[in-house]
Amino acid sequence: MDKFEQHPIFHNNSNNPQLPVPIQLAIFLNAAGHYGNAATSQDMAEWAGVSVGTVHNCYKQVMVAILHHHDEVIHFNPENPEDRREKEMAKRYVEERTCPQWRGGYLCVDGTPFNLYQKPGLHGEGFFDRKSNYSLSNQVIIFPHNLQIVDYVIGVPGSLHDASAFQHTQCAQPPERFFDDNEWLWADSAYGCQKWCIVPYKRPASGHLTRTQKTFNYHLSKVCKVPFIWHILTCHGKIHVQSEHFYGSLKGHFQSLREL
């Protein structure tokens, strides 16, 4: 509240003052924490005792105030001492779960869809994804040790493959901004293998992983504390489990992201 209350979006010269900022924030968070029938504008208006138009204004004004602080929270600059410390902590986390040679893998990437409640009116077919939903694709790159966001892409049509959506991130263009010669990020098998992007071995359509490949996937899985190692050996490495934990936490707090 200390950061929000002084933002000019909450102040005007009208004779009709705005709602107090704590109430506007409460309306916004209540909507962000629900989805479906529990999150309609009419329900929010009845819950707060205001009009539907006021609810919409609260949404917009709080979001403007949040985005004002965006770069203070989500950032990565190798020259920034704070970012260098986080990077070193991530490397230490990876090294403790694998080996010194793997400490260069200090980031994880994964994608998830944000479902839409109906087909968009403009180029709607482009949002039809492989799970037969209309959705927005989302890519997030995080530190594995604390799940903090380093880079992200939102708003990409759901029909776009994760590997293609990933190319829109700052991390992928160019990767030299994020990675030195002996640094990389971990991804699941949907992504392409690069010098700076390490993925687990896929099980062949007709065959099995070799013992060496299983060993690689086993140790790779330890970066993300996978609870059931047998699943790694029978399928393919789930290096993106920390990213799955991130998405579980995000959609658990802000359930509106389950269906927009």
Q: What is the pLDDT of residues 1-30, one digit of tens each?
A: 888 888 999 988 888 888 999 999 999 999
* Percent of all residues in the chain with a pLDDT value above 90, rounded to a whole number: 43
Q: For residue 28, what are the domain limits?
A: 1-72
Task: Give the separation between CA 116 and CA 139, rounded to whole angstroms.
Answer: 17
Residues in the chain: 260
Task: Give the separation between CA 128 and CA 159, rounded to whole angstroms.
Answer: 5
* Percent of all residues in the chain with a pLDDT value above 70, rounded to a whole number: 91
Task: Give the separation between CA 57 and CA 112, rounded to whole angstroms.
Answer: 29
Q: Quick one: pLDDT band at residue 226, thresholds 50, 70, 90? A: very low
Q: Which residues contact 42 (CB under 8 A, 6 or more apart)?
A: 52
Looking at the structure, tell me whether residues 123 and 227 fall in a common domain: yes
Q: Quick one: pLDDT band at residue 224, thresholds 50, 70, 90? A: low
Count of domains in the chain?
Answer: 2
Looking at the structure, tell me whether residues 25 and 137 fall in a common domain: no
Per-residue confidence (pLDDT) for residue 206, from 0 to 100 = 84
Looking at the structure, tell me whether residues 47 and 130 fall in a common domain: no
Looking at the structure, tell me whether residues 46 and 162 fall in a common domain: no
Of 43, 72, 101, which residue constitutes the final position of a domain? 72
**Exposure string for 9-21, b = 16+ CB within 10 A, e = fewer:** bbeeeeeeebbeb
Looking at the structure, tell me whether residues 11 and 58 fall in a common domain: yes
pTM for the model stands at 0.82
Task: Give the separation between CA 123 and CA 256, rounded to whole angstroms.
Answer: 23
Looking at the structure, tell me whether residues 129 and 40 fall in a common domain: no
Looking at the structure, tell me whether residues 110 and 182 fall in a common domain: yes
Of 72, 100, 119, which residue constitutes the final position of a domain? 72
Looking at the structure, tell me whether residues 7 and 119 fall in a common domain: no
CB-CB contact of 145 with 130 (8 Å): no
Looking at the structure, tell me whether residues 130 and 20 fall in a common domain: no
Looking at the structure, tell me whether residues 239 and 156 fall in a common domain: yes
Q: What is the mean pLDDT of residues 73-84?
A: 89
Average pLDDT taken over every residue of the chain: 86
Q: What is the mean pLDDT of residues 83-95?
A: 91
Looking at the structure, tell me whether residues 145 and 222 fall in a common domain: yes
Task: Give the separation between CA 209 and CA 21, rounded to whole angstroms.
Answer: 57
Of 39, 55, 72, which residue constitutes the final position of a domain? 72
Looking at the structure, tell me whether residues 131 and 196 fall in a common domain: yes
